[in-house]
Amino acid sequence: MLKACIFDLDGVIVDTAKYHYIAWKEIARELNFDFTEHDNERLKGVSRMRSLDILLEIGGLLLNEETKISLADKKNKNYVSYIEKMTSAEILPGVPAFLKELKNNRIKTAIGSASKNTPLILQRIGLANYFDEVVDGNKASKAKPDPEVFLLGASGLGVSPGNCVVFEDAEAGIEAALAAGMKCVGVGNPQILYKAHMVISGFEEMDFNRLKTFSEI
Ligand code: BG6
Ligand code: MG
């Protein structure tokens, strides 16, 4: 029975993927290699340091730990300069109406994100107190595709994993949801998110009735 929805944040509630991309591209430019939007797919859903490792692998570079920490810090400062300017206007279309429907139908909600900037983003878009539980990169120690972030979300809500539906835009996140034993809706491109149980292109396509039917299958 459907009792809770757990939402990834970046790329599901807001399109911060574009800011992550710009900020990593700047680091790649400094290191003299190109970083494409296609490559950026590999960074979605994974932690900041793991993202840097993937970026360096794309550029064919091996750097020491100290340099890596300073590059990740630099990327984050640049990224934060973008998200500090976000407003509720950047909540993705259809999300507010769907969240409201969930509340009206007493479905619990949580955020399950790898981002350490989750509190700042939620505050900027006016959703800091909206979710019943927030599990982010400050709380979870294992990055997606490990299921930890979603399992912590479910236990924080007091709901069994089998009664949760996860919304995810990244392959690593879908794998994490499946490993947690949860139903998973991919948000984005079905060719990339084919492992999800269902894929929608955005929340205008989703409503409570569709969710309920999906969760019962
Ligand atoms: C995820 C993003 O939500 O958070 C990743 O999809 C990002 O691209 C990760 O690397 C960590 O984010 P942050 O804000 O802690 O650097
Ligand atoms: Mg995401």
Ligand having the closest approach to the CA of 45: 1
Instruction: Note the pLDDT tens digit of each residue in 131-170.
Output: 999 999 999 999 899 999 999 999 999 999 999 999 999 9
Residue 204 has pLDDT above 80, yes or no: yes
Which atom of ligand 1 is nearest the CA belonging to 8?
3
For the chain, the domains span 4-15+90-215, 17-83
Report the CATH fold assignment for 17-83: DNA polymerase; domain 1 (1.10.150)
The predicted pLDDT at position 117 comes to 98
8, 49, 115: residue to mutate for ligand 1 pocket, most atoms within 8 A of CB? 115
Query: Mean pLDDT throughout 1-21?
Result: 96
Instruction: Note the pLDDT tens digit of each residue in 85-128.
Output: 999 999 999 999 999 999 999 999 999 999 999 999 999 999 99
- Does the domain at 4-15+90-215 match CATH 3.40.50.10740? Answer given as no
The predicted pLDDT at position 185 comes to 98
The predicted pLDDT at position 30 comes to 96
Ligand 1 binding pocket, CB closer than 6 Å: 9-10, 20, 43-48, 51, 76, 113-117, 137, 170
Residue 217 has pLDDT above 90, yes or no: no
Work out whether the CA dihedral 124, 173, 150, 206 comes out positive or negative.
positive
Query: Mean pLDDT throughout 5-32?
Result: 96
Ligand having the closest approach to the CA of 76: 1
Instruction: Note the pLDDT tens digit of each residue in 22-81.
Output: 999 999 999 999 999 999 989 998 899 999 999 999 999 999 999 999 999 999 999 999
Q: Please give the Cα distance from 80 to 73 (Å, whole number).
A: 10
User: CB atoms < 10 A from the CB of 50, how many?
Assistant: 16
Q: Is 36 exposed, middle or buried (0-12, 13-18, 19+ CB in 10 A)?
A: exposed
CA distances from 106 to 2, 39, 44, 96, 163 (A): 10, 39, 30, 15, 13
Please list the alpha-helical segments (H only) found in 60-144: 65-83, 95-104, 118-124
Q: How far is the CA of 206 from the centre of ligand 1 (A)?
A: 25
- DSSP assigned state of 118: H
Q: How far is the CA of 160 from the centre of ligand 2 (A)?
A: 23
Q: Please give the Cα distance from 47 to 36 (Å, whole number).
A: 19
The predicted pLDDT at position 82 comes to 97
